[in-house]
Amino acid sequence: MLNDRSIVRKWIQNTARRFGYDIRRRPSALARTADLLPEEEFLSGFVACRLRNFDTVACVDAGSHVDLVAEALGSGTRFAGIFTDRPASSTSGNANVDTEGSGGTRPMAELAELPPGSLVVLPIANSTVEMSKQAQLREHIQQPTMNVGELTRGYYLFSDVYSNFAHYRPLADIASYFLGRTAYGDAGLYSTVPLSGRSVLELGPLDGSMSACILQQNPRSLTVVDSHWENFLKLRTAEEAFCLENLSVVLDDFHNVTRRKYGKVDVLYAHGVIYHSEEPFLLLEQLSEMTDSLIVGTHCVPEQSVPEQSVPKSRVPEGSRVYKWRGKEWPAEQETESPESVGGPGRVTTFFSVSQYREMFSMLGFEVKDILLRPLANGKQDFFQFAALRRPA
């Protein structure tokens, strides 16, 4: 019979086998998977998983970003070349790139010819002039564009996470969730909407505690999406260790989750993610098109904390923002996340009130059914869990 320690060991071995790494056994490796691999290999693997979301990748100008892309490219992604208006000699420093047969060096104007599903990778802008040029380029081309910082955003080593977040558990502790010994959160998270035999999509699974509980309900399929490498790695190894054929793990930014890309699902979990979005209304619009049943958990502020609506921009309190959506102003509180945060892909958290969330989902055609509302230990916000169920036509 498997115990927690043997499961963790199997997780590590299967992960190494899947990604082709040569791992030396060390006792400390059972506690932190980050001890297993050099930082460079972790980063390359992280970028490789992100690039799999695109059919074609192109780089602008020569530099270390080209080498990083070349190391991470998989067989399913085509390298379209280095696009530049600089002299040809300035692109010769990227020894890892085989430009023969892969587009080579091409004029910048040809970026417009890239097919849909392409990604354009930019170097880091080291001056205001370069920043301005990149901003103009982003406006000009139609393809998704990232610089190296954006491409690797969400990449953190386990050691950073463990030193800052007590709730972020080692692998041995999480095994109990997949064994069905421990349940995460309120039972209403898994009983308010039937899950058995249905397709489920979960955003931001963190270390997989909720994912494991969802799987205990026997869904037909569970797809989890997270932009953090350590979360991705934990769930991929769980998938291997427990032979979870109905689990699919994707490394992606939740802002990229659309019906066109992921299809329609029976139930969508957005637990602990919406307040991490700097563009929450874009996210809500996209998610509402994908399902008739959402399970949401989010931080909220007390009603009196939200600034009054229609406040002139010059008088909006510091730490606040007023969004405009569907002909209405939506004031919210905002905070800057710490550099060690394992939250969203951005660096700002956005907080609305409970009544605002009820109104948002009502405008999207959903009824809100409360699961739990409780104050947080920080004394500033509440945690609101609810089901959003589409109203009958």
- State whether 116 and 194 are in the same domain: no
Domain membership flag for residue 10: no
Tokens coding 62: 């020569």
What pLDDT score does 16 carry? 52
CA angle, residues 12, 150, 319, in degrees to nearest 5:
110
- Residue 278 lies inside a defined structural domain of this protein: yes
Do 294 and 265 share a structural domain? Answer: yes
111-137 pLDDT, tens digit each: 989 988 789 999 888 788 888 888 888
Residue 181 sits in a domain whose CATH number is 3.40.50.150
Would the pLDDT of 29 be above 70? Answer: no
Give the integer Cα–Cα distance in Å for 240 and 246: 11
Helix (H, G, I), strand (E, B) or coil at 135: helix
For residues 182 and 248, give the distance between their C-alpha atoms in angstroms, rounded to a whole number. Answer: 22
The pLDDT confidence band at residue 294, using thresholds 50, 70 and 90, is very high
| 245 lies in the same domain as 297 | yes
pLDDT given for residue 308 in this prediction: 52
Query: What's the average model confidence in pLDDT over 178-187?
Result: 85
Q: What is the pLDDT of residue 154?
A: 52
Of the ranges 100-109, 281-290, 305-314, the best mean pLDDT one: 281-290
Domain contains 28:
no
Residues 6+ apart with CB under 8 A from 330: 281, 309, 322, 323, 324, 352, 356, 360
Same domain, 118 and 199: no
For residue 47, pLDDT beyond 80: no
Q: Give pLDDT, residue 315.
A: 37
Answer yes or no: is 23 within a domain.
no
User: Same structural domain for residues 113 and 239?
Assistant: no
pLDDT given at position 301:
93
Q: Can you tell me the distance from the alpha carbon of 101 to that of 117, in angstroms, rounded to the nearest whole number?
A: 20
- Which of 124, 151, 178 terminates a domain? The answer is 151
Specify whether 219 is located in the same domain as 310.
yes
Do both 131 and 59 map to the same domain?
yes
pLDDT band at 191; cut points 50, 70, 90: very high
Res 181 pLDDT > 60 = yes
CA gap 87, 334 in Å, rounded: 45
Answer yes or no: do 104 and 169 share one domain. no
Q: Could you say which of 151, 186, 221 is where a domain stops?
A: 151
Q: Do 211 and 72 lie in a common domain?
A: no
Judge contact between 355 and 382, C-beta under 8 A. no
Q: What is the pLDDT of residue 12?
A: 56
In a domain, 211, yes or no: yes
Lowest-pLDDT range of 101-110, 171-180, 265-274, 306-315:
306-315
Could you tell me if 178 and 74 lie in one domain? no
34 closest CA partner among 212, 206, 155: 155
- Confidence at 26, pLDDT banded by 50, 70, 90: very low
Choose the final residue of a domain: 151, 181, 208: 151
177, 125: one domain: no
The residue segments making up the domain with residue 135 are 44-151
Considering its fold, how many domains does the chain have in total? 2
Residue 269 placed within a domain: yes
With a pLDDT cut of 90, the percent of the chain lying above it is: 35
The tokens for 350 are 């956005």
Q: Give the pLDDT of residue 297.
A: 96
- Residue 368 above 80 pLDDT? yes
**CATH number of the domain that residue 65 is part of:** 3.40.50
Q: What is the DSSP letter of 5?
A: H
Q: Is residue 26 part of a domain?
A: no
pLDDT at 289: 95
Number of residues that this document lists for the chain: 393
Averaged over 129-158, what is the pLDDT? 75
Q: How confident is the model at residue 139 (pLDDT cuts 50, 70, 90)?
A: confident
Tell me the pLDDT of the chain averaged across its residues. Answer: 77
Whether residue 171 sits in one domain with residue 124: no
Residues 193/367, Cβ–Cβ less than 8 Å: no
- pTM beyond 0.75: the answer is no
**216 assigned to some structural domain:** yes
* Residue 21 pLDDT: 43
